[in-house]
A and B are shown apart, each in its own frame.
Chain A
Amino acid sequence: MSTELVTQQLPSHKKKKEFALFKTWKRLIKNKMAIVGLVIIAFQLFIALAAPVIVGVDPNKQNLELSELPIGTEGHWLGTDNYGRDIWSRIVYGARISLLVGIGAVSLGLAGGVVLGLLSGYYRRLDGIIMRFVDLMFAFPGILLAMLIIAILGTSLVNVVIAISIWSIPTCARIVRGSVLSIKKQEYIIAMRSLGASDLRIMVRHVLPNCMAPIIVFATMRMATAILSTASLSFLGLGAQPPTPEWGAMIAAGQEYMWTSPHMIVIPGIAIMLVVFAFNVVGDALRDALDQGMSLDK
């Protein structure tokens, strides 16, 4: 009875999926700020991956004869610090650390937050308990919570990652819970239940993919916070320990030489600022791009 309906050759599945991604990407790069952010992130990624190739100098190699060289010195274009270590190579290796810590903390935080958010959004009975627990975590100032955790676990970069990820959990849980609450009321979820799918299957296979947009945006923005917090904690001496070339630790070490060699704190400061700025801008742009991408009829 419906064979008279238009029978046309339809594009294949692969192409379609790529097309949807491509459309989001196109919307993203329409945003000029996003391009700036993406370039900075790409550059950080590049120097982090290619660190040993780019810089021949060991970032921890001291040479007291060449200490506190200013910017533009031959062989040390960003100068050296008080121990004569090459600042450029320290910045490059620092990029590695900040990315690793950022990715580590965000993925751990997401893992915890997504699980808690899904459970609390999906099961009404768990909602009260989980959300009160989350409220409790919110009541603590973030950096204080991180310091507390590090005080318990001891100072090290790994513990910084754990501390920051724990601190990311409540925000992530709330965001995911909100999405789940609206998605689980959708008819397609009830339809899935009417087909006899188990709760776990519905949560993981049907609800979660529909929450991806806010999760992606959250993760990007959280990268910025995580990198900044790592720098802050290291600056306070709670994170990376000397001589690790961590940006925050570099600023802390450069404090005493602020008046004689300001580049020791200015350069890592700029590095932190650029990276945090880049992740925030890209997160913002992603939000706009995904927002349109997720609406059904466009």
Chain B
Amino acid sequence: MKETVLEVKDLVTTFKSADGPLPAVRGASFSVKKGETLCIVGESGCGKSITALSIMGLLPSNGMIADGSIYFNQRNLAEMSPKQMQKVRGNDVSMIFQEPMTALNPVFTIGFQIREPLMIHLKLSKKQAHMRGIELLRMVGIPSPVERMNQFPHELSGGMRQRVMIAIALSCNPSLLIADEPTTALDVTIQAQIIDLLNDLKEQLDMSMIMITHDMGVVAEIADRVIVMYAGEIIEEGRVEEIFENPQHPYTKGLLASVPNVDDPEFDLKPIAGSMPMLNEQISGCRFHPRCPYAFDKCMEKSPKTFHVTDKQSVRCWLQEEGVEQNGGRRASSL
């Protein structure tokens, strides 16, 4: 069994607001093993990005980790001082962002930006950093890297910029890479290239990866394990085959049913009714029950506990309890 790189336990992240603290992540626990790719999927606003930012210690100034621990290589990131975190970020854990168009500083050359982390963490000289930068650009498949070092971001296409971002993120050989929807802003053909590149690099550098996405196609392509988040909670977790072939939670089923299938002419796109609850919305019992077609009385009263389907797959849903017939559930009264 491979060692665990990251272990998040009961993470609660809240935001300060005029109405008191708003929990964006409500007790998430998961772990990432060495060389493993974990996908976090969910709708916009389910807390997946906030989970990533909590790990990085990059929450906006009104956000804070209220509870729980984040163990990275046996060190608790949640308790580190900002100074200590600075040494971890970019060095041991780094991150790729969604928008390659705005994630590079427009007034500096690619070279300047790729040299920065090398000079900060590895204490390389400018010249050494420059040589290493060229190597990195070559590694992420950028043609004529020597010339690219002297170009400005606006001279590069979106896909090229995302490659540069990946090169910068990988510059100090991190053991964990967090990719926050790295392909969402790109063309479909470029998306596939970037996904392939990330997969290759992960193998090559033997690092772990957390991929945040709402694109089930990306998940199928890259994930080893999948976490499904809904309204700040992890509702289902399992290996990618299990999630795709045997989804247990009604929400996961809904997510999969809302991905178009071109091979099946009979396929009918089924959107999930309703929308994600607001952060401050009080929902008794299971947070998904107002949108759940199978909800029954217990769902409204008690928050579901975790049921293990297999040794890897677990789900938080009362339907898993012995004696509950899936079809026996009735539509919850209109809420």
Q: Which residues of A contact B (CB under 8 A)?
A: 1-3, 5-10, 12-13, 16, 124, 186-198, 201, 205-206, 209-210, 212, 296-297
Pick the contact of A188: B61, B104, B149, B154 (CB < 8 A).
Answer: B104
A-facing mask of B27-62, CB < 8 A → 1, else 0? 000000000000000000000000000001010010
Pick the contact of B106: A16, A205, A296 (CB < 8 A).
Answer: A296
**Stretch with Cβ within 8 A of A (4 or more), from B85-93, B303-311, B319-327:** B85-93
- The number of residues on chain B lying at the interface, defined by a beta carbon within 8 Å of a beta carbon of chain A, is 46
Name the interface residues of B170-208: CB closer than 8 Å to any CB of A. 193, 196-197
Complex interface: chain A residues within 8 A of B99 (CB): 187
A194 to chain B minimum Cβ distance, whole angstroms, is 4
With A3-B143, A187-B103, A210-B107 in contact, do A194 and B150 touch (Cβ < 8 Å)? no
Please state if B87 and A196 are interface contacts (CB–CB under 8 Å). Answer: yes
Whole-angstrom CA separation of A206 from B111 in the bound complex: 14
A7 to chain B minimum Cβ distance, whole angstroms, is 5
Pick the contact of B97: A9, A10, A191, A297 (CB < 8 A).
Answer: A191
Please state if B154 and A7 are interface contacts (CB–CB under 8 Å). Answer: no
Complex interface: chain A residues within 8 A of B121 (CB): 196
Please state if A209 and B108 are interface contacts (CB–CB under 8 Å). Answer: yes
Whole-angstrom CA separation of A193 from B58 in the bound complex: 8
Please state if B120 and A197 are interface contacts (CB–CB under 8 Å). Answer: yes
Whole-angstrom CA separation of A167 from B87 in the bound complex: 41
Please state if B197 and A1 are interface contacts (CB–CB under 8 Å). Answer: yes
Please state if A193 and B89 are interface contacts (CB–CB under 8 Å). Answer: yes
Considering only CB atoms, which chain B residue lies closest to A195 in the complex?
B90
Complex interface: chain B residues within 8 A of A201 (CB): 120
Complex interface: chain B residues within 8 A of A6 (CB): 143
Q: Does B165 sit within 8 A of A, measured CB to CB?
A: yes
Please state if A194 and B105 are interface contacts (CB–CB under 8 Å). Answer: no
With A1-B197, A206-B105 in contact, do A10 and B151 touch (Cβ < 8 Å)? yes
Q: Does B94 sit within 8 A of A, measured CB to CB?
A: yes
Sample (30) of A-B pairs whose CB atoms are under 8 Å apart: A1-B141, A2-B142, A3-B141, A3-B143, A5-B143, A7-B143, A8-B144, A10-B147, A12-B150, A187-B102, A187-B103, A188-B106, A190-B58, A190-B97, A194-B56, A194-B90, A194-B95, A194-B169, A195-B90, A195-B94, A195-B120, A196-B90, A196-B121, A197-B116, A197-B120, A198-B86, A201-B120, A205-B116, A209-B108, A210-B105
A-B contacts, CB under 8 A, total: 104
Pick the contact of B105: A1, A2, A13, A188 (CB < 8 A).
Answer: A188
Please state if B95 and A297 are interface contacts (CB–CB under 8 Å). Answer: no
Considering only CB atoms, which chain B residue lies closest to A198 in the complex?
B86
Q: Does B109 sit within 8 A of A, measured CB to CB?
A: yes
Q: Does B294 sit within 8 A of A, measured CB to CB?
A: no
Q: Does B168 sit within 8 A of A, measured CB to CB?
A: yes
Whole-angstrom CA separation of A189 from B108 in the bound complex: 13
Whole-angstrom CA separation of A30 from B273 in the bound complex: 59
Complex interface: chain B residues within 8 A of A187 (CB): 97-99, 102-103
Q: Does B152 sit within 8 A of A, measured CB to CB?
A: yes
Considering only CB atoms, which chain B residue lies closest to A298 in the complex?
B154
Complex interface: chain A residues within 8 A of B152 (CB): 16
Q: Does B117 sit within 8 A of A, measured CB to CB?
A: yes
Please state if A7 and B97 are interface contacts (CB–CB under 8 Å). Answer: no
A-facing mask of B115-128, CB < 8 A → 1, else 0? 01100110000000
Pick the contact of B86: A7, A186, A191, A196 (CB < 8 A).
Answer: A196
Whole-angstrom CA separation of A10 from B99 in the bound complex: 25
Q: Does B316 sit within 8 A of A, measured CB to CB?
A: no
Whole-angstrom CA separation of A150 from B150 in the bound complex: 50
Please state if B116 and A192 are interface contacts (CB–CB under 8 Å). Answer: yes
A134 to chain B minimum Cβ distance, whole angstroms, is 21
Please state if A196 and B97 are interface contacts (CB–CB under 8 Å). Answer: no
Please state if A195 and B116 are interface contacts (CB–CB under 8 Å). Answer: yes
Complex interface: chain B residues within 8 A of A2 (CB): 141-143, 163, 193
